[in-house]
Structure 1
Amino acid sequence: MRRRPMHMSDEALDPLRAALVELRTELKVPLAFPKRVLKAADNAAAQPNLPDKDARDLPLFTIDQRTSKDLDQAMHLERRPGGGYRVYYAIADVAAFVKPGSPLDAEAHDRIETLYFPDLKVPLHPPVLSEDAASLLPNQVRPALLWQHDLDAYGNVTDSSVSRAMVRSLVQYDYAGAQQAIDNGSAGESLALLREIGKLREAVEIARGGISVNLPDQEVTTLEDGSFRLSYVATLPVEGWNEQLSLMTGMSAAQIMLDTGAGILRTQKEQADQNVVKRLHDIAKALGIVWRPGISYATLVRNLDPHQQTHMAFLSEATSMLLKSEYTVFRDDQKPAYTMHAAIAAPYTHCTAPLRRLVDRYTGELCVAACSDTAPPNWVLDALYCIPCDMARGKSGPADRQTVDLAEAAALMHRVGEVFDAAVIDTDAERGKPREGKVFLADPAVLAKVESTNGLELQLGSSVRATLKRANPSADGDKVLFTVP
């Protein structure tokens, strides 16, 4: 079940800490770095491989969560003389620090990606790199892969290239601060242009048939009586505009790799299984959502409001049912038969978060080589076909899902026996279990298993009064269970 990240107050974390420790043990999460890796990181931080190009005059800025120190991207936006825009997009140059075959490289291939838990972060690289020497922190000179995107007046990319350069970010914004500055007019031109360019890119996305579903964050807060509250918190518009620049860079990188004959794409088939499509239509109908013939899924979801309970229920279930993305590798001009990412409606790759994700270091190297008209490094080519298997070993998916399950159980454990308004958003009828399924609750913000105990089958999309039978963070299997009497 794919859900947005969960945020918790410190007080809400207290009863969960033991369960989170157990979860990390179960997933075999490596909390500490070996001494040889830490030593290699110290050496790399002191002696990085720096580029000759100097782009420190660009007044870059970053936007991320308020407490983030592992800053992968920085940007500067400006108008082009004669019309259109130029976007400079700097990405942390992890390869300047991590040498192929080194202890740092081997450790990164073991860890695959940074894992985020409510009480701590398990980084891909040692903090001396990920939160210091390689991070695009404000007022620090750093090596970066500096993208230059030229856009026309409508937000279409007319040219993209990337090269290594030394850069310096001047300001670190959090999302709320950036949104406030844009809204009240105090933002400088570069930050203010993020709204203008972001909206143009959203229009470009609509025109090509792409989909962006910004589900609200799930948040756990502590009330005065010591109980927890689960709620949905809407994302800010600036988060979507920021994401558009990342998507734009990922699409440009994918096209560069396709043009030069070697790369790693993030692909997703255009057509889901017809049973899945029919199921989505059935869920929409049951929830009272009008899905007219000839209207695409992309058009439908763009017109839904996640703040409405039935719309949120549909979006949450639909994003979990649609086909998953995968990594597709090619080299020696042997391009794959399928290159598209259906949700993005274009070729796309992961390349903007190398501090947090292994694959991005490789795609960055391929693009730099292509734009400098040189052959990719052998260490990149030799590892290409291993990358999909490496990324499949990543633990962020199960870690995120099980963390949410734990938090929901902890927040509801003192409310067993209470009755809640809910909507049935899935049933197991196709698997021969018509009395089992899932319910969506808007308040508290929960998606959980439900069972019918009255002998009647669950009706997809029906509104029910669901009784909380179980909420136990330590339970095996379903930690939260509702019943419909």
Structure 2
Amino acid sequence: MSGAAEAPLRGALRELRARLGVPEAFPDAVLAAAERAVAAPRLPGADATDIPFFTVDPPASVDLDQAAHLSRRAGGGYRVRYAIADVAAYVTPHGPLDAEAHRRVTTLYFPDEKVPLHPAAISEGAASLLPGRTRPALLWTVDLDADGRTESADVRRALVRSRAKLDYDGVQRAVDTGTAEEPLALLAEVGRLRERLEAERGGISLDVPEQEIVRSPDGGAYELAYRAPLPADGWNAQLSLLTGMAAARIMLDSGTGVLRTLPTAPDGAVGRLRRTARALRVDWPRHLPYATLVRSLDPRRPHHAAFLQECTTLLRGAGYTVFSGGRVPGPVTHAAVAAPYAHCTAPLRRLVDRYAGELCLAACADTAPPEWVLAALPELPGEMAEGARRANTVERACVDLVEAALLQDRVGEVFDAVVVDVHERRPAIGTVQLTAPAVVARVESTADPLPLGEHLRVRLTRADPTEATVLFAPA
């Protein structure tokens, strides 16, 4: 994308932020509160800086929420220590930082900038688990048996120090070449055991390549790329899932908590997915559970990739369930996790995690939850729902804008694509995925139904950055 092509994109991104009411610059009072908090944090008395933690994140990330250390237990099994950034060490309840976090709810990511939940002095500095820095943290200790099953879980405040900032490619390379030191090698070992247990309980992790907005190699323009998750992504995600499941169990046992829940897909949605499987010639025997089928698919095969894209429809409808006094309203399970689950491992980027962490700390210390936590619980589900809606809108709109900017000078050209979705009631309207550039966009046929899961030559008929619109037609 040329500099000239980027100009309308930058303008469109500014308009998008304005239309969505995205807060950008922090108010002076919030920045001043952040400076005071960084100068005088509430530090814990416990010291765990002797544990050689490491972080695994994208290379450019500096808002590091989690650090891990894994070891073998005497007599068999594993010990997972998982340090989570202690945002409450800096954010005073009902103060300017707290109020602003409730206004923002989540960190938002745009191609040209990040709109953080907390000021950078906290999220990218004093609270971030950067290597070589002593930081306050919520230190989880989860003991597993030899099969990776949880035997006990506990969380306490402590000072920690990360020794290394790793990325997914580097972790994968170290494990594959046998050069990983034991704590990192155990990430793969424990990750695989937890994936096996996930399959056993019927959990689902969709291995769908995602569109990413990236800078060109010279750093001068935006491009789109598909990123297929590495095994290392999955191993690292299993630690977060492990901790979230432990947190959910602790809160359920204590009688007060906030869970991340997802209802089981209704029969109609599963029936539609079975019809899609038949259309795509994906063999789905009646006796085979949906989760088992998903794990057997290869996203590199067009028919399977299209079906995996359709599978995401069964994962919609997630929300938050708040409970107290031991009374839990409705189901407590997250259908994709196939267990009770809580968001608690990303407090630098997501509001609810700070509250789940405080509830778990109180339960493990056998003390009453803080009043400021209990007072905020009733409003959290609504706040998080609005924050998630805005984050999803931002993510899709940014990709749409970059797609249109990339293609605006190529209207009339023909591309190779795969039909990954077809409108159930209007089969001449659907979605195609291009290989190069990495574009996923609407396609409309004037006559014949679109061939779901098949290769299709398509002609670009419209690409308008000002309206974030890209449209194809069969060639």
How does the TM-score come out when normalised to structure 1? Answer: 0.92
Describe the shift of the 1:193–1:412 C-alpha distance in structure 2 as closer, same or farther (beyond 3 A): same
Given that 1:162 and 1:367 are in contact with CA atoms closer than 8 Å, whether structure 2 keeps it comes out as yes
Deviations 1:320-341 (A, max 9, x none): 4543211011001112331000
Amino acid of the residue matched to residue 149 of structure 2? N
How much has 1:437 moved relative to structure 2? 2.4
Structure 1 unaligned residues grouped into runs of 5+: 1-7
2:33 to 24, 40, 49: 40
* 1:405 alignment partner, one of 400, 403, 417: 400
The Cα of 1:459 is off from its aligned counterpart by 4.9
Q: CA deviation at 1:446?
A: 2.6
Letter in 1 for 2:23: P
Contact 1:283 1:461 in 2 (8 A): no
Cα RMSD, aligned residues only = 2.3
Question: Per the alignment, do residues 189 and 141 of structure 1 end up closer, same or farther by CA in structure 2, a change over 3 Å counting?
Answer: same
Q: 1:14: Cα distance to partner?
A: 6.2
Letter in 2 for 1:237: P
1:379-418 to 2 correspondences below 5 Å: 379-394=372-387, 395-418=390-413
Change (3 A) 1:292 1:421: farther
| Mapped contact 2:262–2:315 kept (Cα < 8 A) | no
In 2, the alpha carbon distance for the partners of 1:154 and 1:59 equals 24
Question: Partners in 1 of 2:59 and 2:3 — Cα distance?
Answer: 16
| Aligned residue identity for 1:428 | H
Q: Could you say if the C-alpha distance between residues 114 and 229 of structure 1 is closer, same or farther in structure 2, counting changes exceeding 3 Å?
A: closer
Q: Where does residue 238 of structure 1 map in the other structure? A: 232
Question: The residue matched to 1:158 in structure 2 has which SS?
Answer: strand
Number of aligned positions between the proteins: 471
Q: Does 1:262 align with 2:256?
A: yes
**Alpha-carbon spacing, 1:134–1:234, altered in 2? closer, same or farther (3 Å):** same
* SS of aligned partner of 2:232: helix
CA distance in 2, matches of 1:89, 1:117: 29
Deviation track 1:190-220 (CA, whole Å, cap 9, x = no partner) reads: 1111111111111111111111113223245
Provide the residue aligned with 1:4 in structure 2: none
Q: How far has the Cα of 1:175 moved from its partner? A: 1.6
Q: SS of the residue aligned with 2:195?
A: helix
Query: Which aligned pairs between 1:300-319 and structure 2 lie closer than 5 A?
Result: 300-319=293-312
Cα distance change of structure 1 residues 29 and 247 upon mapping to structure 2, 3 Å threshold: same
- What is the CA–CA distance in structure 1 between the aligned matches of 2:135 and 2:223, rounded to whole Å? 42
Q: One-letter code of the match for 1:116?
A: Y
Q: Which amino acid aligns with 2:22?
A: V
> Structure 1 229/141 Cα, relative in aligned 2: closer, same or farther at 3 Å?
closer
Residue matched to 2:474: 484
- Contact 1:55/1:167, CA 8 A, preserved across alignment: yes
CA deviations on 1:363-407 (whole Å, 9 max, x unpaired) are 000000000000000111111110011112212110001111112
Tell me by how many angstroms 1:20 deviates: 1.7
Alpha-carbon contact 1:227-1:411 (below 8 Å) kept:
no
Letter of the aligned partner of 2:261 in structure 1?
A: T
- Match of 1:414, as an amino acid? D
How far does residue 181 in structure 1 lie from its aligned partner after superposition? 2.2
State the one-letter code of the partner of 1:402.
A
Which segments of 5 or more consecutive residues in structure 2 lack a partner in the other structure?
none
Could you say what secondary structure the match of 1:285 adopts? helix
Determine helix, strand or coil for the equivalent of 2:339: coil
* Mapped pair 1:154 → 2:147: yes
**Aligned partners of 1:251, 1:35: CA distance in 2, in Å?**
38
Q: Which moved more, 1:387-396 or 1:410-419?
A: 410-419
Q: Tell me the amino acid that sits aligned with residue 311 of structure 1.
A: H
Match of residue 475 from structure 1: 467
Q: Which moved more, 1:382-391 or 1:273-282?
A: 273-282
Q: Is the 8 A contact 2:222 2:402 kept in 1?
A: no
Q: Work out whether residues 11 and 222 of structure 1, in 8 Å CA contact, stay in contact via their aligned partners in 2.
A: no
- Is 1:424 matched up with 2:414? no
1:211 matched residue in structure 2: 204
- Aligned: 1:293 with 2:294: no
Q: CA deviation at 1:57?
A: 1.0
Q: Matches of 1:422 and 1:313 in 2, distance apart?
A: 12
| 1:49 aligned counterpart, secondary structure | coil
**3-state DSSP class of the match of 2:333?**
coil
Structure 1 281/442 Cα, relative in aligned 2: closer, same or farther at 3 Å? farther
Larger deviation, residues 198-207 vs 362-371: 198-207
Q: 1:255 to 1:29 in 2, by over 3 A?
A: same
Q: Deviations over 1:397-419 (max 9, x none)?
A: 10001111112222222221122
Which stretch shows the higher mean deviation, 149-158 or 441-450? 441-450
Question: Of residues 458, 464, 474 in structure 1, which corresponds to 2:456?
Answer: 464
In structure 2, do the counterparts of structure 1 residues 322 and 174 end up closer, same or farther at CA, with 3 Å as the change threshold?
closer
1:445 to 418, 438, 448: 438
1:364 aligned residue: 357
Q: Is the 8 A contact 2:2 2:221 kept in 1?
A: no
The structural deviation recorded for 1:354 is 0.2
Verify the 8 A CA contact 2:38 2:121 in the aligned structure 1: yes
The code of the aligned residue for 1:101 comes to H
**Are the counterparts in 2 of residues 309 and 442 from structure 1 also a CA contact under 8 Å?**
no
For residues 113-124 of structure 1, the aligned pairs below 5 Å read 113-124=106-117
Using the TM superposition, name which of 156-165 and 413-422 deviates more: 413-422
Cα offsets for 1:78-133 (capped at 9, x unmatched) = 00011000010000010111111000000000000101112211110001100111
CA contact (8 A) 1:261 1:331 kept: yes
Moved more, 184-193 or 420-429: 420-429
Deviations, residues 235-268 of structure 1 (Å, cap 9, x unaligned): 2211110000000000000000000101111111
Task: Report if aligned partners of 1:12, 1:221 keep a CA contact under 8 Å in 2.
Answer: no
1:112-191, aligned counterparts within 5 Å?
112-191=105-184
Relative to structure 1, the CA distance from residue 425 to residue 187 in structure 2 (aligned partners, 3 Å threshold; closer, same or farther) is closer
**Could you tell me which residue of structure 2 aligns to residue 5 of structure 1?**
none
Superimposed CA distance per residue, residues 419-470 of structure 1 (whole angstroms, 9 cap, x where no aligned partner): 233343433343xx443222333443332212112x3344544543322111
How many angstroms apart in 2 are the aligned matches of 1:157 and 1:64?
25
